[in-house]
Structure 1
């Protein structure tokens, strides 16, 4: 499977098996502006997309049904799936990274410390640490269990 997001707000999931089996599923609708990040869960049959409309949208990719909308106070620039849990971390233009539980759509944790847009983020292979990079010319490492940061 592959997932793509576009400037017009569209999100599409495609089956990319052998060329005779290639199939594009129905468009996932909901975003009103550019989609900046997309991805699949390793644990559940879920996909997520995030973007300029300040939303992280969670989709059941087998049915193409939206499961949850996680509203942010500003543009969502990046996202990363937790490697062992059904959670997504988002990076936002307000300088805050947020952890969302995709089973419920609820906010679990906020990681603060940046004063400008988060331009990238990555989780460690075991999910215990989050590295963020920002337009404030800093990178921060957060322990995902406690929310603390080190410059």
Structure 2
């Protein structure tokens, strides 16, 4: 669980006991906004309003690496609003910022593989469960699908009049459902953008 003071606590769900308590000063200098667990449960990825994402070892509570997500020479807020590990390529993670930057990170080498720029801030991202694709929901009202291997935008789903605040993909991988600040929800076919 991430906290406003930048700290992270790792809880045992069965016993409701705290396994690790990583103090804010040791991890983030401001609020933790997003968090994800690696599919192997050995790593945790956190994103913060301090423009960083941290990879934490779940059993020791030690920070493994820090990804700097700040835009150089940007006066916009660089908050990391969404972060996630890949389901299909265990070495990859992604972060999305309010400046509209989707970054694909190689965790073992601690390097940025690709940066994908959006016209609006990224508020949520989600990895495809079967391929190296990342979906992003943005303040510009568009959901996009990116190929993590080359950083190219593959498809876009639009139609909202305001920011897309949340989305999900059906279990069968055929449908995309969005919720927007325009007070509407939309259902899209994943294989037919804008329909």
Higher alpha-carbon deviation: 115-124 or 30-39? 30-39
1:40 aligned to 55, 79, 85, which one? 85
- Report the Cα offset of residue 134 of structure 1: 0.1
1:16 aligned to 20, 36, 58, which one? 58
What do the CA deviations read for 1:89-147 (whole angstroms, capped 9, x no partner)? 10111101000000111000000110100010111123221111001111111111111
Are 2:46 and 1:4 aligned? yes
Equivalent residues in 2 for 1:10-89 (5 A)? Answer: 10-17=52-59, 21-32=60-71, 33-44=78-89, 45-89=91-135
- Report the Cα offset of residue 26 of structure 1: 2.0
- Report the Cα offset of residue 148 of structure 1: 3.5
Aligned-partner Cα distance in 1 for 2:149–2:171: 21
TM-score (normalised: structure 1): 0.92
Higher-RCO chain (CA-CA 8 Å, sequence separation at least 6): 1
TM-score (normalised: structure 2): 0.72
1:83–1:125 contact (8 Å) kept in structure 2:
no
| Structure 2 unmatched runs, 5+ | 1-42, 72-77
Larger Rg: 2
- Report the Cα offset of residue 43 of structure 1: 0.6
Aligned-partner Cα distance in 1 for 2:190–2:67: 30
User: Could you list the runs of 4 or more consecutive aligned residues of structure 1 that deviate by over 6 angstroms after TM superposition?
Assistant: none
Are 2:91 and 1:91 aligned? no
2:187 aligned to 127, 130, 141, which one? 141
